[in-house]
């Protein structure tokens, strides 16, 4: 699925401008012919524009579950459908106004008067869907945050905020996620790749999760949940035992919750090994590189790449 190909959507004002600018360039041998040609242009430009927008949206019901749920989280499938429906409505209204204008000109009505009235009515129809056009443009921007995934063995990295998930993903893969010293830095899923014995594996960095029920989770946390639910072949659960931001107890409770909810293999590891001496589970440091090889081996075992 490629949401990056969705086109920018013009506002009503921009679209009206575009349509009438195109119509203004139209010529004809007589005033009547010119007027008819203008109407044909308005009809075509509008039709093509709406078609371009609708056709680039996928059929949402048929998307694989991961994408369907992501679209619902980031924008809402019913809302997108409603706005696409509004475009369809506008399109048929515009065509009706044009047909009427064509009939009137052919039956001898003053073409300038007809044109003026058609312009007014077309503009008013498009203004009525301004909200929908703006919504679709915002939706395009948000949908672009949904990563395109390949059909590769997949590692999902999860844990509390600020524990070093993004630093791990950056250390082992091609991904360049945001890393910062404050919690909730990562707000969307990002995908990187690594080679394991010549095989491609994808690794997904997720936003930090707090230990709380799903019904209390916000839109950003839900992205992590969806990745765990649909994408993970194996989960790397990162625990920061320095307790700088969150207690080990809370982190372990989240680990438990994840193990119970998703029934996926989970490898739980300590991060920031350069700052502490806990070694009752694998420990790594993204800073010094200590322990990273061992964790990659562990992943390989779980993905049965050997
Ligand atoms: N000393 C040390 N600091 C680290 C290590 N890994 C990450 N950090 C620091 O910990 C902070 C958080 O790192 P991130 O990788 O952004 O953590 P995150 O889990 O992705 O955080 P969120 O996206 O907010 O959930 C940053 O200031 C990092 O520089 C490490 O191995 N050693
Ligand atoms: Mg992060």
Every domain of the chain and the residues it spans: 3-143, 154-303
Nearest ligand 1 atom, CA 163: 19
Three-state secondary structure call for residue 246: coil
Parallel/antiparallel/unpaired status of strands 199-205 and 266-270: unpaired
Tokens representing 93?
């209204």
Q: In the prediction, which pLDDT does 4 show?
A: 81
CB 303 within 8 A of CB 233: yes
Q: In the prediction, which pLDDT does 195 show?
A: 95
Three-state secondary structure call for residue 82: helix
Q: How far apart are the first and last CA of the chain?
A: 30
Alpha helix (H) ranges present in the chain? Answer: 12-24, 31-56, 65-74, 77-106, 111-128, 130-143, 165-172, 219-230, 248-262, 292-303
CATH number of this structure's domain 154-303, picked from the four choices 3.30.450.30, 3.30.465.10, 1.10.150.240, 3.40.50.300: 3.40.50.300
The ligand that comes nearest to the alpha carbon of residue 286 is 1
DSSP string covering 13-60, please?
A: HHHHHHHHHHHHT---SSHHHHHHHHHHHHHHHHHHHHHHHHHHS--G
Residue 37's alpha-carbon distances to 18, 24, 102, 124, in angstroms, are 16, 10, 10, 21
Nearest-CA residue for ligand 1 atom 3 is 272
Contacts of 35 (CB under 8 A, 6+ apart): 28, 105, 111, 112, 114, 115
CB 186 within 8 A of CB 165: yes
Three-state secondary structure call for residue 201: strand
Q: In the prediction, which pLDDT does 75 show?
A: 96
d(CA 98, CA 92) in angstroms, rounded, equals 10
Residue 271 Rama label (left phi>0; alpha psi -120 to 50; beta):
beta
pTM above 0.85, yes or no: yes
Mutate to test the pocket of ligand 1, among 158, 179, 241 (most ligand atoms within 8 A of CB): 179
- How many Cα atoms within 13 Å fall on the side-chain side of residue 55? 6
Nearest-CA residue for ligand 1 atom 5 is 272
Q: CATH classification of 3-143 is 3.40.50.150, yes or no?
A: no
The ligand that comes nearest to the alpha carbon of residue 292 is 1
Angle between helices 12-24 and 130-143 (to 10 degrees): 110
Three-state secondary structure call for residue 235: strand
- pLDDT in single tens digits along all 306 residues of the chain: 778 889 999 999 999 999 999 999 999 999 999 999 999 999 999 999 999 999 999 999 999 999 999 999 999 999 999 999 999 999 999 999 999 999 999 999 999 999 999 999 999 999 999 999 999 999 999 999 999 999 999 999 999 999 999 999 999 999 999 999 999 999 999 999 999 999 999 999 999 999 998 889 999 999 999 999 999 999 999 999 998 889 999 999 999 999 999 999 999 999 999 999 999 999 999 999 999 999 999 999 999 876
């Amino acid at each position: 699925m490629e949401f990056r190909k969705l086109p920018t959507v013009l506002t009503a004002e921009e679209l009206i401008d575009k349509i009438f600018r195109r119509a203004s360039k139209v010529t004809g041998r007589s005033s009547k012919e010119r007027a008819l040609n203008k109407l044909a242009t308005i009809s075509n430009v509008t039709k093509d524009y709406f078609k371009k927008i609708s056709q680039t949206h996928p059929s949402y019901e048929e998307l694989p579950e991961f994408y369907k749920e992501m679209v619902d989280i980031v924008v809402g499938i019913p809302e997108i459908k409603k706005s696409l429906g509004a475009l369809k409505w506008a399109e048929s209204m515009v065509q009706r106004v044009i047909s009427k204008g064509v009939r009137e000109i052919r039956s001898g009505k003053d073409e300038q008067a007809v044109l003026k009235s058609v312009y007014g009515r077309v503009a008013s129809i498009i203004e009525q869907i301004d909200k929908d056009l703006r919504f679709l443009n915002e939706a395009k921007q948000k949908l672009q945050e949904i990563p395109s995934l390949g059909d590769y063995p997949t590692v999902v990295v999860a844990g509390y905020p600020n524990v070093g998930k993004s630093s791990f993903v950056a250390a082992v893969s091609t991904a360049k996620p945001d890393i910062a010293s404050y919690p909730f830095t990562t707000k969307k899923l990002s995908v990187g790749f690594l080679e394991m014995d010549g095989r491609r594996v994808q690794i997904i960095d997720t936003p930090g999760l707090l230990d709380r029920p799903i019904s209390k989770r916000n839109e950003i946390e839900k992205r992590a949940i969806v990745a765990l639910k649909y994408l993970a072949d194996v989960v790397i659960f990162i625990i920061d035992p320095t307790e700088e931001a969150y207690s080990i107890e809370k982190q372990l409770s989240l680990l438990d919750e994840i193990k119970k909810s998703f029934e996926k293999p989970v490898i739980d590891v300590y991060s920031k090994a350069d700052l502490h001496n806990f070694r009752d589970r694998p420990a790594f440091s993204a800073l010094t590189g200590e322990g990273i090889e061992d964790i990659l081996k562990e992943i390989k075992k779980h993905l049965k790449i050997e």
